[in-house]
Amino acid sequence: MDAPKNKKNIIVPVELGLDSTFTFACTREMPCFTRCCKNAHVTLTPFDIIRMKHRLGMSSDEFLYKYTTLGHIDKTELPVPIIKMQENGENTCPFLGDSGCSIYEDRPLTCRYYPIATGIFHDKDLAANKRFFALIKEDYCLGHKLGKEITIKEWRNSQGIIPYDKANIGWSELILKRKSLWPSIKIPEKSLQIFFMGCYNIDRFRRFVFDSPFLNVYIVSEERVKKISEDDLAMLDFAMDWLKTTLLGENRLKMREQVDEAEAIEAD
């Protein structure tokens, strides 16, 4: 649960690192159990959507249409899906069941991190991307008063966060590049649409690759074609290569020589 823009004051303004400690506990016996799943601001990463749509047995198109609304990544115009809270008076998350989160094993990254907020930046001195953390403190959350001391590193391990960071690395890099390399350049609407499709609508992107002249335009090995046809994570990795090629000119995917760029495929 991210801090919505009007609730920034719930973030404790102290930057934390992996070895920083905080005190926290969260159990279903607490009187505040599931309070944090109401009126929550849950942004979704590419891997969240893959996990959740598999869990729910639906396509990414269906998932996005039914469960999300559109937001923007902080300080950019890059789109990001946000879970659409129910209009039931309490603004409850649609995945909240009688005994807690009904998709707990596949809950999104934001929910896994809570009560930690996180971000990533490019450290020019180290020439590397670095993650930073901060504590979110909301009055209703009793976990801060009752818990034991834990490091951020331990929290990340206990919440199964590492595979998410790994799968989302290309997406994070795209966002960082947008923030650092070309912040003042306006991105055309078409580019924002292909960013959205490649990052969040993996099934639509797969149709785009296989039902358009895409594979006549780009050189893709047979082995990779087979992998992306059946594996969403491989497809996400491929989508990131395509976005970095198309949006950043990084040349991750090579075009066939005889193809004139002018006849290159158009994403619908």
Among 10, 12, 32, 234, which residue sits at the site for ligand SF4 (rule: CB under 6 A)?
32
CB of 70 to ligand SF4, least distance (A): 18
Binding of residue 55 to ligand SF4 (CB under 6 A): no
Minimum Å gap between C-beta 97 and ligand SF4 is 8
CB atoms within 10 A of CB 123: 9
**Residue 95 in contact with ligand SF4, rule: CB under 6 A:** yes
Q: Does 111 bind ligand SF4 (CB under 6 A)?
A: yes
Q: Does 37 bind ligand SF4 (CB under 6 A)?
A: yes
Residue 26 in contact with ligand SF4, rule: CB under 6 A: yes
Assess 42 for contact with ligand SF4 (CB under 6 A): yes
Q: Which is nearer to ligand SF4, 70 or 219 (CB)?
A: 70
For position 120 contacting ligand SF4 by CB under 6 A, the verdict is no
**Gyration radius from the chain CA atoms:** 20
Q: Report the interface residues with ligand SF4, using CB under 6 A.
A: 26, 30, 32-37, 40, 42, 93, 95-96, 101, 103, 107-108, 111, 114, 140-143
